């Protein structure tokens, strides 16, 4: 593809749709959290000048960027204000004709990007792509909103959900270093545009395996946790950017080693939920993890690939041939035990984490199953459990051949109120309003999926 450099005139300044901007200002003036004052706005008792709200923040940094950026390069996410001399790349404005995916590897001398990364959740993927299109020693110049400027935080009146995360200089610097860049210049404090800039040089190409864990940890840092550690499946959450990105990584791992892949089943919510609400905060290199009902689930093996020492438990040996092959091919620290009932063949206080992904409904002696988990967990250890929920009075059904699903009350009695777990004496606040939409979607994968799924993360009392 031949790129169209439509950016010919530094003075070609445009505010885009001025009429739309006018009506936007009118709406802001009516917002209860904003106060329009002479020359700007007051938000959370802090004054912000008008020029922060009309776009074109990159103009404040062009003079510095142009000292370092020479040759052929792009301005990614430029909107209506591309860096002079660059090839504009965006979905709108001057760069609408150009796409990042069409740029050949090692073809650019620089990449400039201003106020773009905060709009995407998996921003690490863009750092990797920029690394690939840059020549050796090619330059990357980033200009981002400073975290001290609350006016640009996600959820603020002028931003809404437009910003997906809050860039912090130290996190972005680490990300650049992890993705093959050497930092050359940095500003840690906010400038007049309430922004900060970073300049780096491509130092090396980075294999995808090396940055996998870092991408996940970074995704986790920008995805807010639920306010409680038990929750029902939520369709909006399942299809959020961070959850979808996480499942893309899991399914790629599963495909590589012959494990199950999930695209239309409740696991697309369960696995990311556990990651973002607990597993991501663990130093997996120091964790001994027990996974119940493992069969061909990719999750336990994936955690092993991030450093965990994993033990699988199953009721029959039909999966052992696959397990042996994957362990031989990967060298991961994974072993297994076959047990035919709920009794676990391990000493007391053996594991830091126990995971049970939709297993409890298939266990006959549920009380014994929970007691055994509590026994083998170390004090303070984590129990991550997902479970099928069937509430007949809400029109839900569960096939008898598939075991026995829990009700919300039964889960509370069996697990949540069990004194072995530290739940602070608080009753769960079940998000039952999400059930109807989830069941409609769940039934598309199988006609008997007329139920919902719950998930919980608990800690064994010390």
Q: Quick one: pLDDT at residue 427?
A: 87
* Percent of the chain surpassing pLDDT 90: 54
- For residues 116 and 200, membership in a common domain is answered with yes
Domain-located, residue 4: no
Domain-located, residue 448: yes
Say which residues have a Cβ less than 8 Å from residue 446's Cβ, sequence separation at least 6. Answer: none
Tell me if 269 sits within 8 A of 237, measured CB to CB. Answer: yes
Q: Is the dihedral of CA 418, 288, 270, 400 positive or negative?
A: negative
Most confident of 122-126, 189-193, 236-240, 376-380: 376-380
In this prediction, residue 386 has a pLDDT band, given cuts at 50, 70 and 90, of very high
Closest of 252, 249, 246 to residue 276, by C-alpha: 246
- For residues 376 and 454, membership in a common domain is answered with yes
Three-state DSSP string of the chain: CCCCCCCCCCCCCCCCCHHHHHHHHHHHHHCCCEEEECCEEEECCEEEEHHHHCCCHHHHCHHHHHHHCCCCEEEECCCCCCCCCCEEECCCHHHCCCCHHHCCCCCEEEEEEECCHHHCCCHHHHHHHHHHHEEEEEEEEEEEECCCCHHHCCCCCCCCCCCCCCCCHHHHHHHHHHCCEEEEEECCCCCCCCEEEEEEEECCCCCHHHHHHHHHHHHHHHCCCCCCCEEECCHHHHCCHHHHHHHHHHHHHHHHHCCCCCCCCCHHHHHHHHHHHCHHHCCHHHCEEEEECCCCCCHHHHHHHCCCEEEEEECCCCCHHHHHHHHHHHCCCEEEEECCCCCCCCCCCCEEEEEEECCHHHCCCHHHHHHHHHHHEEEEEEEEEEEEECCHHHCCCCCHHHCCCECHHHHHHHHHCCCCECCCCCCCCCCHHHHHHHHHHHCCCCCCCCCEEEEEEEEECC
Q: Quick one: pLDDT at residue 93?
A: 65
CATH of the domain at 105: 3.40.50.150
Mean pLDDT of the chain: 85
Number of compact structural domains in the chain: 2
- For residues 406 and 339, membership in a common domain is answered with yes
- For residues 35 and 135, membership in a common domain is answered with yes
Q: Does residue 392 or residue 36 have the better pLDDT?
A: 392
- For residues 199 and 229, membership in a common domain is answered with no
In this prediction, residue 267 has a pLDDT band, given cuts at 50, 70 and 90, of very high
Mean pLDDT of 219-248: 74
- For residues 125 and 246, membership in a common domain is answered with no
In this prediction, residue 44 has a pLDDT band, given cuts at 50, 70 and 90, of confident
pLDDT tens for 58-76 read 888 999 999 999 999 999 9
- Worst-scoring range by mean pLDDT, 86-100, 349-363, 434-448? 86-100
Mean pLDDT of 168-183: 87
Domain-located, residue 366: yes
Among 214, 242, 270, the domain boundary falls at 214
- For residues 138 and 231, membership in a common domain is answered with no
- For residues 143 and 170, membership in a common domain is answered with yes
Q: Quick one: pLDDT at residue 192?
A: 87
Mean pLDDT of 364-392: 96
- For residues 241 and 292, membership in a common domain is answered with yes
Domain-located, residue 3: no
For residue 103, the enclosing domain spans 18-214
Domain-located, residue 412: yes
- For residues 299 and 385, membership in a common domain is answered with yes
- For residues 159 and 262, membership in a common domain is answered with no
pTM for the model stands at 0.61
Domain-located, residue 6: no
Among 167, 185, 214, the domain boundary falls at 214
Among 214, 243, 261, the domain boundary falls at 214
Q: Quick one: pLDDT at residue 21?
A: 53
- For residues 387 and 269, membership in a common domain is answered with yes
Domain-located, residue 11: no
Domain-located, residue 9: no
């Amino acid at each position: 593809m031949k790129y169209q450099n439509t950016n010919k005139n530094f003075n070609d300044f445009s505010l885009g749709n001025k009429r739309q901007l006018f009506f936007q200002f009118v709406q802001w003036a009516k917002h209860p959290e904003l106060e329009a004052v002479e020359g700007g706005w007051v938000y959370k008792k802090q004054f912000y000048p008008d020029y922060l709200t009309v776009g074109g923040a990159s103009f404040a940094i062009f003079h510095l960027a142009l000292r370092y950026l020479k040759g052929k390069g792009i301005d990614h996410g430029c909107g209506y204000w591309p860096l002079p001399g660059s090839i504009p790349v965006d979905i709108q404005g001057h760069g609408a004709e150009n796409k990042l995916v069409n740029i050949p590897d090692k073809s650019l001398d620089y990449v400039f990007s201003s106020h773009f990364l905060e709009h995407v959740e998996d921003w690490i993927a863009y750092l990797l792509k920029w690394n690939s299109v840059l020549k050796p020693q090619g330059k990357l110049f980033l200009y981002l909103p400073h975290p001290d400027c609350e006016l640009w935080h996600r959820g603020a009146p002028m931003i809404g959900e437009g910003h997906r995360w809050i860039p912090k200089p130290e996190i972005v610097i680490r990300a650049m270093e992890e993705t093959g860049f050497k930092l050359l210049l940095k500003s840690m404090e906010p400038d007049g545009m309430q922004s900060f800039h970073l300049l780096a040089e491509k130092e090396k190409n980075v294999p995808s395996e090396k940055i996998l864990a870092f991408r996940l940890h970074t995704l986790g840092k920008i995805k807010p946790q639920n306010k409680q550690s038990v929750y029902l499946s939520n369709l909006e959450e399942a299809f959020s950017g961070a959850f979808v990105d996480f499942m893309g990584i899991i399914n790629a791992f599963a495909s590589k080693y012959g494990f199950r892949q999930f695209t239309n089943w409740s696991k697309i919510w369960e696995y990311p939920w556990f990651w973002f609400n607990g597993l991501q905060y663990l130093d997996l290199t120091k964790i001994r993890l027990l996974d119940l009902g493992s069969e061909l689930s990719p999750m336990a093996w994936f955690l092993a690939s991030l450093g965990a020492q994993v033990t699988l438990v199953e009721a029959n040996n039909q999966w052992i041939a696959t397990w042996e092959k994957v362990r031989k091919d990967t060298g991961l620290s994974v072993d297994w035990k076959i047990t035919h009932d709920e009794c676990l063949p391990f000493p007391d206080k053996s594991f830091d984490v126990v995971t049970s992904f939709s297993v409890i409904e298939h266990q006959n002696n549920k009380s014994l199953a929970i007691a055994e988990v509590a026994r083998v967990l170390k004090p303070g250890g984590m129990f991550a459990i997902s479970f099928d929920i069937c509430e007949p009075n809400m029109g839900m059904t569960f096939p008898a051949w598939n075991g026995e699903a829990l009700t919300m009350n039964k889960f509370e009695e069996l697990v949540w109120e069990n004194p072995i777990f530290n739940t602070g004496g608080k009753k769960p606040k079940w998000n039952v309003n999400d059930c109807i939409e989830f069941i409609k979607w769940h039934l598309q994968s199988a006609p008997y999926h007329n139920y919902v799924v719950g998930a919980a993360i608990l800690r064994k009392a010390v």
